[in-house]
C-alpha cells in the first residue's frame, strides 16, 4: 500500500485546512474525541517503566467494532463474488516481477560495475527527491502494520493465518505482493550510497513499533474505503517520484517507481470493486461509511513516523513531497473526486434521510477541499530549510 498519504500537509497548513469535522462514530462505543494521552509511549502514570523513546502524540479513545454484527453476514455472502472478482486482481507469483529484476546481481561478475553505474545515476538526483523516496520506502516497509490492520477487520479477517476464505487469501497475497515494494526501494537506496541507512532503519523500527491509527473501527466498510483511497494515492506518488527520477536522468529508478505504481493501481482496482459491490448491496451503510471516513480525513499510514530526533519528521516529509509535487493537497481532492465518480455516489437512490445527508456531504466535499487548499497554498509561502537524518542531516527546503 502504502504509502501514501493522507497527506502531505504541513502542520501549519493542516491548521488552516479546517475541514476535519467531528466523527459520527457511535458515542455509546466510546468518544472519538481527541485527547492528550500517549498510548503507552512517553511519560505515563507509570513514569519509570522503560518504554521505547518515541514522541508524545495526540491520541483518541479508539472506537472499536462499530459495524453491527449482522453486517458480518454481508461479507460471508460475498465470498463467492470475492473469489471471482477480487482475487483476479492478484498476479500469479511466477508472473510477478521481483526486486532482483531491477537491481545489480550480486551473483554475477558484473556486480561491481552495475553498482558503480547505479551510484553514478543516483548522484544526479537531488537530496529532496531522496527524502521523498526514503519516505515512500519507510511507508512500504511498515507492511506488518497494514497486514495487522486487515486482520482486525470484522467479517474478513484471516482467522488462522492460512484461512482459505477469499478475504484471507487476498490479505496474504496482497501482503506478499506489497512486500516486494519496500524490499526493492530499500535495496536501491542502500546501494545508492546517498542516504543514512542506519537512521532510516531506525525510523522503520519506530514506525512498525508505533503502528497506525486510521480510525476504521474494525469495519471493512471503513477500511476498504481507506485502502481504495490509499492505493490510488500511492500509485500517484510513486508515479510522480518516477517522473522526477526521469527528469534527473535516472531511467532505471523511474522504471522502478513506475512498476511499483502500477501494482498499486491493480490493488486500487480490487479495493474499489469491493466498495462498489457494497454500494450495490447496502447503499445506505456504504455512503454513511464514506462520509464517516471523509469527515475524519484519510491520514497517511505512516503518520506516526519518528526518526529518533525530529518530532515532526512526518509533517516535514509531507511538506517536502507537497512542494515537489509528489503528493499534494490537490491530489487528495483528485482522488476523492475520482472515487465519488467511480462509485456513482451522486446517483444513489433509495437512501434513508441520514444516507441522503451523507451523500450530499460527500458530493459537496471536493470543491470545498479545493477552495481551502487554494487559500492554504497562498498563505503557506514560507521557505524553511531543515536537516533530515535520512540524508545525513543535509538541509532540505520544506
The catalytic residues are 97, 140, 178, 181, 231, 234, 263-264, 267
Among 181, 194, 232, 323, binds Fe ion (CB under 5 A): 181
d(CA 118, CA 113): 9
Residue by residue, DSSP assigns 269-294 as HHHHHHHHHHHHH-HHHHHHHHHHHH
Q: What is the DSSP letter of 300?
A: P
**Does the protein bind Fe ion through residue 267 (CB under 5 A)?**
yes
Backbone angles phi, psi at 20, to 5 degrees: -85, 105
Closest CA to 168 of 147, 140, 145: 147
Contact region with Fe ion (CB under 5 A), list: 19-27, 108-116, 266-274, 330-338: 266-274
The residue (of 41 and 271) whose beta carbon lies closer to Fe ion is 271
Instruction: Confirm or reject binding of residue 300 to Fe ion (CB under 5 A).
Output: no
User: Does the footprint of Fe ion cover residue 1 (CB under 5 A)?
Assistant: yes
Contact call for residues 89 and 266 (beta carbons, < 8 A): yes
| 63 makes contact with Fe ion (CB under 5 A) | no
Stretch 318-357: interaction string toward Fe ion, x if CB under 5 A:
----------------------------------------
For residues 156 and 326, what is the distance between their CA atoms, to the nearest angstrom? Answer: 33
Question: Smaller CB distance to Fe ion: residue 178 or 310?
Answer: 178
Q: Which stretch binds Fe ion (CB under 5 A): 107-115, 178-186, 205-213, 310-318?
A: 178-186
Residue 288 to residue 75: CA distance in whole angstroms: 17
Query: Quick one: 8 exposed, middle or buried, by C-beta within 10 A (0-12, 13-18, 19+)?
Result: buried
Q: Alpha helices of 100-142 — where are they, by DSSP H?
A: 111-123, 127-141
Strand partners, 117: none
> Binding pattern to Fe ion, positions 130-149, x when CB under 5 A?
----------x---------
Q: Which residue from 128, 154, 178, 217 is in contact with Fe ion, where contact means CB under 5 A? A: 178
CB of 142 to Fe ion, least distance (A): 10
Q: Grid coordinates in use for 321? A: 513531497
Judge whether 308 and 202 are in contact, CB under 8 Å: yes
For residue 238, state whether it binds Fe ion (rule: CB under 5 A).
no
Considering only the stretches 41-49, 204-212, 228-236, 372-380, report the one whose residues sit in contact with Fe ion under the rule CB under 5 A.
Answer: 228-236
Q: By C-beta, is 2 or 142 nearer to Fe ion?
A: 2
- Complex with Fe ion: residue 269 or 351, whichever CB lies closer: 269
Q: Which residues make up the interface to Fe ion (CB under 5 A)?
A: 1-2, 140, 178, 181, 231, 264, 267
Amino acid at each position: 500500500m502504502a504509502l501514501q498519504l493522507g497527506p502531505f500537509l504541513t502542520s501549519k497548513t493542516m491548521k488552516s485546512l479546517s475541514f476535519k469535522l467531528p466523527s459520527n462514530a457511535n458515542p455509546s462505543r466510546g468518544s472519538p474525541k481527541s485527547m492528550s494521552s500517549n498510548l503507552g509511549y512517553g511519560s505515563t502514570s507509570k513514569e519509570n517503566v522503560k518504554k521505547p523513546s518515541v514522541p508524545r502524540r495526540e491520541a483518541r479513545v479508539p472506537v472499536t467494532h462499530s459495524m453491527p454484527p449482522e453486517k458480518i453476514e454481508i461479507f460471508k455472502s460475498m465470498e463467492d463474488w470475492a473469489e471471482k472478482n477480487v482475487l483476479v486482481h492478484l498476479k500469479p507469483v511466477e508472473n510477478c516481477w521481483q526486486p532482483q529484476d531491477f537491481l545489480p546481481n550480486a551473483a554475477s561478475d558484473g556486480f561491481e560495475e552495475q553498482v558503480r553505474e547505479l551510484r553514478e545515476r543516483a548522484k544526479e538526483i537531488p537530496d529532496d527527491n531522496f527524502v521523498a523516496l526514503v519516505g515512500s520506502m519507510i511507508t512500504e516497509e511498515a507492511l506488518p502494520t497494514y497486514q495487522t490492520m486487515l486482520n482486525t477487520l470484522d467479517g474478513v479477517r484471516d482467522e488462522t493465518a492460512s484461512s482459505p476464505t477469499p478475504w484471507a487469501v487476498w490479505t496474504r497475497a496482497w501482503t506478499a505482493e506489497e512486500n516486494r515494494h519496500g524490499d526493492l526501494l530499500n535495496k536501491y537506496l542502500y546501494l545508492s550510497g546517498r542516504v543514512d541507512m542506519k537512521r532510516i532503519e531506525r525510523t522503520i523500527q519506530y514506525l512498525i513499533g508505533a503502528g497506525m491509527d486510521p480510525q476504521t473501527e474494525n469495519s471493512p466498510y471503513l477500511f476498504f474505503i481507506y485502502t481504495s483511497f490509499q492505493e490510488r494515492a500511492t500509485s500517484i506518488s510513486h508515479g510522480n517520484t518516477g517522473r522526477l527520477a526521469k527528469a534527473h536522468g535516472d531511467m532505471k529508478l523511474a522504471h522502478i517507481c513506475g512498476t511499483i505504481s502500477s501494482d498499486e493501481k491493480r490493488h486500487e482496482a480490487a479495493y474499489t470493486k469491493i466498495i462498489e459491490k457494497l454500494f450495490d448491496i447496502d447503499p445506505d451503510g456504504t455512503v454513511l461509511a464514506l462520509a464517516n471516513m471523509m469527515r475524519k480525513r484519510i491520514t497517511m499510514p505512516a503518520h506516526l513516523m519518528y526518526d529518533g530526533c525530529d518530532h515532526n519528521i512526518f509533517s516535514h516529509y509531507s511538506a517536502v513531497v507537497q512542494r515537489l509535487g509528489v503528493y499534494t493537497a490537490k491530489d487528495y481532492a483528485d482522488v476523492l473526486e475520482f472515487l465519488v465518480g467511480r462509485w456513482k455516489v451522486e446517483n444513489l437512490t433509495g437512501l434513508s434521510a441520514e444516507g441522503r445527508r451523507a451523500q450530499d456531504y460527500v458530493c459537496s466535499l471536493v470543491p470545498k477541499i479545493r477552495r481551502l487548499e487554494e487559500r492554504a497554498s497562498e498563505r503557506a509561502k514560507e521557505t524553511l530549510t531543515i536537516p533530515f537524518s535520512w540524508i545525513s542531516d543535509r538541509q532540505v527546503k520544506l
